[in-house]
């Protein structure tokens, strides 16, 4: 049965242009020799896991389960961490590495470390900190790093031992290469260790500035240190002490969250992922910062991870070479954006230090409906949130943010010697993200027509409609009418 109203002329491209666009579509895949021949561990998921994987609000439901397991708030951070764990079995350039940056006691380990240790325990290797000897241990004791998650619980070393770490991919072997410089001042030693395979790497860090290699290799998350989040955590802790049934719910590991990665390994990992609109994303991606070259891959890899997670709800096809490919939908693009929007935009603007990140966040939260803040207002708010910044430091940070186009200033009408600060529109949307985006929707539908055909079978018609349904990640309300354009909804009868 065809999809009612779905006609090629609605999204018709010039035949030559359509062919070129199909050639240009990004297949996020690096074939690994022998990958398809590796034996897969037999695993049978429970009915509840299978039902969850077919739920259109799947990503919200996973976040809700994590919330009930004691991972309070921080929806973007906990979902990005869980998604990173699922990428361990995908192709090597699809794996997501996470580093959580924030003050000691701010909740970095609660999200980044314990989620992975709890739900991916069969493939996690944990280390309290990184030392120059760690790569040797990995090489001898762990073997191949493919399919593994390496947790380095604290990236910094001790005060009396200094070292630097460069994490690279060996272009010859395709494996991980670690360059360490360690020792004490005047007695430093450099060592290079080539390893077999590429793991999902996750860590935490408290330093103000991270080295460029770490910034490029890892997706950075920032714990929510707001008073509102602190209040939520205190209420959660109070419930743990007062309510035994609540405590049991938190302490009993959710089986679905453990089974989903195993199901993905057995069934979804055999697919590559095609992002039909990868070129459209590249066109709108900021290019002022060299980080764009690596952050584009991070963004695409979140799209890939979300597509894999929804593999039971996404269309697939076989390429001319005989490989199987899942097709990312515009909804996967939307979900990926919601997960990265508090991290990547600021990185691409050069905002990688905690202070700039904090001050911009204060302005974005407080300056609504045309409001502005004086410098002393920012200082007071930061102080109530546990950040003691000197006035001249805030001035320097605001000037830097202004140079990058993220804030603007106006003279105060009461005192023209003072400046009123507010965030610019680009600070909220530096990518020029437009949702709904009919261009992305049309490229997606045309790609389906080119690779699967039209009319679609009843099964594929149902998958197409499912692939265009969107839900709020936090409250679970359906957002399809806001996320998908009216023309596309009418075409697909959604």
Mean of the per-residue pLDDT values for the chain? 83
Minimum mean pLDDT range among 18-32, 145-159, 335-349, 355-369: 18-32
Average pLDDT over residues 248-256: 96
d(CA 383, CA 3): 57
pLDDT of the residue at 309: 98
pLDDT in tens, 451-477: 999 999 999 999 999 999 999 999 999
Instruction: At 321, give phi and psi (nearest 5°).
Output: -80, -5
pLDDT of the residue at 472: 97
Do 436 and 483 contact (CB within 8 A), yes or no?
Answer: yes
Q: What is the pTM of this model?
A: 0.80
Of 11, 198, 189, 6, the closest CA to residue 91 belongs to 198
d(CA 422, CA 367): 6
pLDDT of the residue at 14: 42
pLDDT in tens, 77-99: 999 999 999 999 999 899 999 98
pLDDT in tens, 279-289: 999 998 877 77
pLDDT in tens, 209-223: 566 666 778 888 888
pLDDT in tens, 6-29: 444 444 434 444 444 434 444 433
- Using a pLDDT cut of 70, give the percent of the chain over it: 78
pLDDT in tens, 222-236: 888 888 999 999 999
Is 251's pLDDT higher than 70?
A: yes
pLDDT in tens, 404-429: 888 999 998 888 888 999 998 877 77
pLDDT of the residue at 42: 53
> Is 318 buried (19+), middle (13-18) or exposed (0-12) by CB count in 10 A?
exposed
pLDDT of the residue at 22: 39
pLDDT of the residue at 325: 98
Q: What angle do CA 290, 292, 294 make, to 5 degrees?
A: 95
The count of residues in the chain is 494
Q: What distances in angstroms separate CA 340 from CA 120, 225, 300, one per listed residue?
A: 22, 18, 11
């Amino acid at each position: 049965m065809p999809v009612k109203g779905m006609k090629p002329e609605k999204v018709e491209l010039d035949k030559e242009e359509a062919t070129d666009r199909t050639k240009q579509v990004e297949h996020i895949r690096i074939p690994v020799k022998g990958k398809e021949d590796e034996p897969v561990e037999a695993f049978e998921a429970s009915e509840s896991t299978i039902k969850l994987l077919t739920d259109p609000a799947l990503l919200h439901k996973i976040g809700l389960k994590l919330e009930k397991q004691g991972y309070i708030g921080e929806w973007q951070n906990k979902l990005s961490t869980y998604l990173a764990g699922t990428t361990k079995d995908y192709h090597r350039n699809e794996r997501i590495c996470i580093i959580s940056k924030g003050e000691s006691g701010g909740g970095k380990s609660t999200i980044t470390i314990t989620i992975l240790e709890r739900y991916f325990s069969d493939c996690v290797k944990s280390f309290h900190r990184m030392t120059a000897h760690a790569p040797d241990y990995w090489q001898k004791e762990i073997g191949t790093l493919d399919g593994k998650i390496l947790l380095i619980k604290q990236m910094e070393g001790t005060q009396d031992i200094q070292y630097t770490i460069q994490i690279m991919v060996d272009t010859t072997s395709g494996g991980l290469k670690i360059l360490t410089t360690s020792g004490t001042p005047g007695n430093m030693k450099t060592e290079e260790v080539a390893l077999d395979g590429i793991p999902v790497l996750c860590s935490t860090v408290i330093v103000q500035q991270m080295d460029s290699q770490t910034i490029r290799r890892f997706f950075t998350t920032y714990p929510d240190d707001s008073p509102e989040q602190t209040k939520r955590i205190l209420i959660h802790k109070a419930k743990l002490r007062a309510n035994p049934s609540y405590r049991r719910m938190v302490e009993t590991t959710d089986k679905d969250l453990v089974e989903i990665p195993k199901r993905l390994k057995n069934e979804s990992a055999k697919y590559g992922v095609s992002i039909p609109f990868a070129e459209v994303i590249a066109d709108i991606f900021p290019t002022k910062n060299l980080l764009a070259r690596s952050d584009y891959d991070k963004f695409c890899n979140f799209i890939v991870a979300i597509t894999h997670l929804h593999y039971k709800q996404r269309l697939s096809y076989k390429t001319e070479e005989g490989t199987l490919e899942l097709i990312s939908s515009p909804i996967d693009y939307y979900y990926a954006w919601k997960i990265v929007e508090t991290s990547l935009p600021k990185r691409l603007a050069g905002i990688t230090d905690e202070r700039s990140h904090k001050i911009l966040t204060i302005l974005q939260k407080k300056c609504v409906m045309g409001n502005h803040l004086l410098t002393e207002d920012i200082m007071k708010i930061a102080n109530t949130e546990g950040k003691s910044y000197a006035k001249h430091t805030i001035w320097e940070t605001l000037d830097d943010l202004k140079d990058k186009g993220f804030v603007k200033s106006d003279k105060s009408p009461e005192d023209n010697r003072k400046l009123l600060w507010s965030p610019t529109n680009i600070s909220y949307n530096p990518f020029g993200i437009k949702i709904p985006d009919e261009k992305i929707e049309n490229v997606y539908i045309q790609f389906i027509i080119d690779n699967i055909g039209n009319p679609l079978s009843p099964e594929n018609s149902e998958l197409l409609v499912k692939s265009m349904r969107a839900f709020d990640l936090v409250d679970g309300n359906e957002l399809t009418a806001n996320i998908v354009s009216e023309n596309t909804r009418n075409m697909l009868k959604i």
